Structure 1
């Protein structure tokens, strides 16, 4: 069991594992605005902004050798994100998704991702040095979407990385982000989640996803389940309601920040997770970290798209 703060005098190295996609944002007139996004990438960007020169933030993924992949890498460098663990696979492409937003700011996603390069992220010969390097990071972050896109073989390799990283005192952070369409069945998803949960130090959970996947009757049942697993820090995100936290025997409830007009809820949870993690790594309490998470998320949902301007 590894605590989250403080990380010590040296600049911590943080690796976020997952998928970045081409994002198309549909405007009211039917036109499309193109950018990039993905749950762990959104978190990486906001985490890099929050940590500044106090951490090295790297992204772990596989891209193609196309112009969109080139543009992604340029954007990540501009955001201060390291590319050392990014594979470029010849002839492959990144995935693509479109966001359609209704009048209340709720969004619908359309995906084209079955042939995305990230699906071979941990199965290529080029992945071997990356897998060997990951246990030396101070923090490893991944999500339920990461588990889905890596596939069964990639998940097995990820678990070995997590075990070795924890043996070297790394902190393992998991955002549940359950997306049913990415899994063959709920049973496959539950098995995959249960295989990684014993290795997690900080679980960042969305209440709707947890109830849909595991069928918890209420929040108390959820926290009891994670206590039995032995997860030392559990954060339950509940949208506009207060988030609930249990951390090493203590419980916290931190109200969300009110927003007059919600424009787009894309990346609300991702940005919350980034600000929460940054605050904890810099020595903030769970309550202070949740306040930071709510504050950033409240700004993100007032702007279209996943990433707000710096």
Structure 2
């Protein structure tokens, strides 16, 4: 199978379009199309869904996995031979809360390594594994312990989430029967947040009942700030919010914390830079997160 065609397939999937892939590869969109047609003819399969963005079909995902492995090995080989001043691309799926907290230490360590570049894909930890299966990334932070086929899984630690608000909100909505959850304003990340969904179910809060009192803030840092200034109550990682609990700016609403075990899953591939990334991820996580007893 032509490695140039596989490189082109990978570029299209990563960039999301034939035109952007052409720009990255330094060729015309027509040449990109011809390469994919040749690859599809050689495999006898349709490899891409021509949508916006362009995505791989089931058959295409198999080739994307192979192409990404080849790209990593080739980049490392070239670096060792001194043939290219090219950083090794490391695609990683990570959730927002992790990126906003302990993963910063991973980025700092990889920056010192010098020969690696990170390409982070942000997704909820309940869905990062699907990106690993598709070959979109070579490593993922996930809550699933069972390794994907061709991957290894390593326990990292336990992320604890707490329901918090300002003291004023807690005071205003505390009744003789307890907290009036259905009356309190709420801050959400977005429509797909498994942790907050669980917290709401545990407290019998339904979005359609309180919709007029819901704010949507789609980034971890801004979400924390929204809760801190009193826009509503929210659910935050304990390691992210601890300083505000200590200062009294925020208070825990109850003791029904949610604990999520996190795992690092990555391809079973002999790669110096991937081993370095794995070491950094495990070290950073185990330093920052409570460990299961």
Query: Do the two structures share a fold, i.e. TM-score over 0.5?
Result: no
Task: Pick the structure with more helix per residue.
Answer: 2
Q: Shorter-chain-normalised TM-score: which range?
A: under 0.3
**What is the TM-score with the length of structure 1 in the denominator?**
0.25
**What is the TM-score with the length of structure 2 in the denominator?**
0.26
